[in-house]
Amino acid sequence: MLYAIETSAITKRFEEITAVKDVSLQVKPGELFGLLGPNGAGKTTLINMMSTMTEPSGGSAKVWGFDVVRDASSVRQNIGMVFQDTTLDDRLTGRENLDLHGRLYGMDGMHRKERIKEVLALVELMDRADAIVKTYSGGMMRRLEIARGLMHHPHVLFLDEPTLGLDPQTRNHIWEYIKTLNKEEGVTIVLTTHYMEEADHLCGRIAIIDNGQIVALDTPDALKNMLGGDIIILEIEDPDRTAGLCKLYMKNGCAHAVTQKNNKVFITVKQGEQQIPHILNIALSAGISIMSVSLRKPTLDDVFLHHTGSAIRDKEVSGLEQVGYKMRTRRKK
């Protein structure tokens, strides 16, 4: 199979809001693919369409060779899903949650029993298998949900913000489980995240999404290297002069790219350490007071800033996702 997932101009509209617009991408079997963007960018809506939970308004998508609209049942047989919010039954044990999932997918008793052992061992929950789920920590619940998503041997696993709300140590542990199951199970994984370091650490390729559209797609290193060098950050005293300073650097030709955010100017240059004196002289010659200067390598946030003019925002769910939720709820009533 050439592609595990293939979308062509897939679009989703909720009344007057377009949550996802003309997204085309291909994910190869065995890939660990990331959808990176701020909350409300359209990431969840996109995977909801690929997992048959929301029907596209336009375009098309195939998952494991099956059309998400015409062959929805076949798609569901070939995918696993871990949602942002827990969907475990906290009155059952971990083992009982997995057993119920296996029954729903038509797995026979012997197969269920063996598979439960396998997935519990994979996420290191064998010692808690017979404990009631409501006694689990948040990280343990997340691991159990990942195990549940693997129960029926899916070809594709969707992870929607898999470490949202977890502490840094638990998040790092979940990262290792995700990498292990991708390698040992050979499952294709698509995860959504607004954590730059998560996408950078886990994903072989990343699609950066904002306002329902892909603004960049490549490997993490290629995305960062496209900026062309080091990042010099100037914090200036007068925020009203940042735009003028950006134009001055571009006119001077000393920078590969220049962006701004509040009272900071981000200047992409080669050999940053050698360029700092020249960069400072240009600002000072224009009578602009510099409060601080720093130098670092590019990050995925710099890539996002370069393409959209703003940093990845860690904020509450936006109107796009709220509209999507209301529309889905309305259809259920």
pLDDT beyond 60 at 314: no
3-state class (DSSP) for residue 287: coil
Tell me the average pLDDT across 13-30.
Answer: 95
pLDDT beyond 50 at 324: no
Per-domain residue ranges of the chain: 5-223, 228-297
Query: 125-149: per-residue pLDDT in tens?
Result: 999 999 999 999 999 999 999 999 9
Half-sphere exposure of 186 (CA within 13 A, CB side): 2
DSSP per residue over 89-141, as a string? -TTSBHHHHHHHHHHHTT--HHHHHHHHHHHHHHTT-GGGTTSBGGGS-HHHH
Tell me the average pLDDT across 10-31.
Answer: 95
pLDDT beyond 90 at 310: no
Query: 82-128: per-residue pLDDT in tens?
Result: 998 889 999 999 999 999 999 999 999 999 999 999 999 989 999 99
CATH code linked to domain 5-223? 3.40.50.300
Given a contact cutoff of 8 angstroms between Cβ atoms, the answer to whether 224 and 299 are in contact is yes
Query: 215-243: per-residue pLDDT in tens?
Result: 999 999 999 888 878 899 999 999 899 89
Query: 39-65: per-residue pLDDT in tens?
Result: 889 999 999 999 999 999 999 999 999
pLDDT beyond 60 at 68: yes
pLDDT at 313: 55
pLDDT at 58: 97
Query: What is the percent of the chain with per-residue pLDDT over 90, rounded to a whole number?
Result: 68
Q: What's the rounded Cα separation, in Å, for the pair 30 and 155?
A: 9
Q: Minimal CA–CA distance to 101: which of 157, 148, 52?
A: 148
Mean pLDDT score of the chain? 89
pLDDT band at 255 (very low <50, low <70, confident <90, very high): confident
Pick among 3.30.300.20, 1.10.150.120, 3.30.70.980, 3.40.50.720: CATH of 228-297: 3.30.70.980
Same fold, 5-223 and 228-297: no
